[in-house]
A and B are shown apart, each in its own frame.
Chain A
Amino acid sequence: MKIGKQSWRFSNDVYLTSTGTTSGPLEAKGPLGTNFDKTYANLHCGEKNWEAAERKLMRDAIDICLKNVNKKPEDIDFFMAGDLLNQVVTSNIIASEHQIPHLGMFGACSTSMQTLALASQFVDSGFADSVVTAVSSHNATAERQFRYPTEYGGPKPKTATFTVTGAGASMVSREPSKIKITEATIGRVMDWGINDANDMGSAMAPAAADTIETHLADTGRQPEDYDMIATGDLSSVGSPILRELLWERGIDINGVHQDCGLMLFSPDQPVFAGGSGAACSAIVTYSYIANQLREGKLRRVLIVATGALHNPTIIYQKQSIPCIAHGVVLESTVGGE
């Protein structure tokens, strides 16, 4: 049911039944590397081109997610997926392979929580018994689509982010697991005038601030009620801006805020301001954060996946970047206070 302005509280028990994550080489070497289900030592993942490599990452993540709970694609009602390529083509091709009824979605890097929120809503309302969600991104396919050829030697500024190579899949159903999905907040699109695609952290911070502020107001909670509030890919530039934006509005998230794009890499890795991309929040949430929830080390987390909803054409036309953030609350069912 709807609570407050733009949030949902699921009336029935909705569980994150299973997850699957895959990553590329750089992510595997990062601090969370051991949490991923499958990693590739090479960006090509044994495929002929980058696009095929991205599909392999998503296909593997879904296979692992289903295998973990001994399910087959036939057992799943709906598939909700998105990626960064034009017309979410990676997801569409994967959907043609496994033949689960498909809803393609685009929310740029916020797609992970967009699909998870809607999947939970489908299961909660009884419109589905089980839904599989998936998102993927690949550094080289994103470079080609949004920037320059991969091997082009144009220097990037320090505010730029590095598109994560990987894919995350989740299965949402009423079958109990150690992680419950309890609430979701759908974001509003914020555009505060940033038109630099090499500074998406600054562009997305207002969207994340708005979603977190609204979520707390809708649920009547304080930041301390969460063990972690994780943003998707605000980077080392956007994260302090977000904390300051909320601080000025009387909300102090300093103690609980983390950014998936910063958790994924160590400071000495060559990723500029941090990781970004649709897979960024997904592979952190569905691996490390999910593991912590399963072990009961985290009790309640709010994942706020942030997305910059631009394409290269509007950037060249000097249009500013519309941004969005969607939040989903995950709770551990282990132990209990």
Chain B
Amino acid sequence: MESINDQKNYKKNIKAYHPKTNYFINCLKAFLVGGFICFLGQCIESFYLAVTNFNEKTVGNPTVATLILISSLLTGFGVYDKIGQFAGAGSLIPVTGFANSITSAALEHKSEGIVLGIATNLFKLAGAVIVFGVVSAAVFGIIRLTINNLLG
């Protein structure tokens, strides 16, 4: 038995006192909730295809916009953070999680004014996603271009 008073190895030894994280259950929850959000997106898409003039190429935009609207409302009503605690990555990764990060920041900083509060802090969390999204798009775009050119 290791001594917990061993200051150097404290960080390692206290692991035994931490509640265990059940990765399998967490993955399952994320899979089910994330899957349900995608299923919802599919339903919305099929609905737009059936009743509007959007075609298969253009229907993506109104579908995403609807999901963003729904998740922003859920954030405003104080529901999305509870889903987030339950589902973890399942509700963070889809576009609804991105909308949540922006809406929650806007709500949080409303009291500091429109410019320095809402506008300045809007992308506080989402900014990182945008930065890495744009940078990786550029990197992979160059790789694709190079390969295409090499293959003639």
Contact = CB atoms under 8 A, between A and B. Distances in A.
B4 interface: yes
A248 B81 contact: no
Interface string A260-296: 0000000000000100000000000000000000000
A192 B18 CA distance: 16
B81 A151 contact: yes
A276 to B, nearest CB: 16
B107 interface: yes
Nearest to B80: A153
Contact of B17 (A50, A152, A155, A240): A240
Nearest to A158: B19
Given A152-B81, A159-B18, A194 B11 contact: yes
B119 interface: no
A148 interface: yes
Interface residues of B, number: 37
B21 A153 contact: no
Interface string B43-87: 000000000000000000000000000000001101011111111
Nearest to B96: A153
Contacts of B92: 153-155
Interface string A112-153: 000000000000000000000000000000001000111111
A55 B107 CA distance: 20
Contacts of A185: none
Which of A152, A199, A240 neighbours the largest number of chain B CB atoms within 10 Å of its CB?
A152
A236 B82 CA distance: 22
Interface stretch (B34-42, B97-105, B129-137, B139-147): B97-105
A152 B111 contact: no
A144 B108 contact: yes
A194 B107 CA distance: 32
A135 B124 CA distance: 30
Contacts of A244: 4, 17
B104 A51 contact: no
Main secondary structure of the interface of B (DSSP, over half): helix
A245 interface: yes
B67 to A, nearest CB: 14
Interface in A232-275: 236-237, 240-241, 244-245, 248-249, 273
A156 interface: yes
Nearest to B15: A202
A245 B105 CA distance: 41
Given A144-B108, A237-B19, A248-B3, A153 B97 contact: yes
A300 to B, nearest CB: 27
A148 B107 CA distance: 12
B81 to A, nearest CB: 4
Nearest to B8: A193
A72 interface: no
B148 interface: no
B26 to A, nearest CB: 9
Contacts of B101: 152
A267 B92 CA distance: 27
A322 interface: no
A141 to B, nearest CB: 10
A199 B76 CA distance: 28
B5 A248 contact: yes
A48 B111 contact: yes
A248 B5 CA distance: 7
Nearest to A239: B17
B28 interface: no
A205 to B, nearest CB: 8
Contacts of A249: 5
Nearest to A192: B10
Contacts of A237: 17-19
Contacts of A150: 81, 104, 107-108
Given A49-B111, A156-B85, A241-B4, A151 B78 contact: yes
Can you list the 4 inter-chain pairs with the closest CB atoms, starting with the nearest? Answer: A153-B84, A149-B108, A49-B111, A149-B104
Interface of B: 3-5, 7, 10-11, 14, 17-19, 21, 75-76, 78, 80-88, 91-92, 97, 100-101, 103-105, 107-109, 111, 124-125
Given A153-B104, A237-B17, 6 more contacts: A149-B108, A150-B108, A153-B82, A158-B18, A159-B18, A205-B14
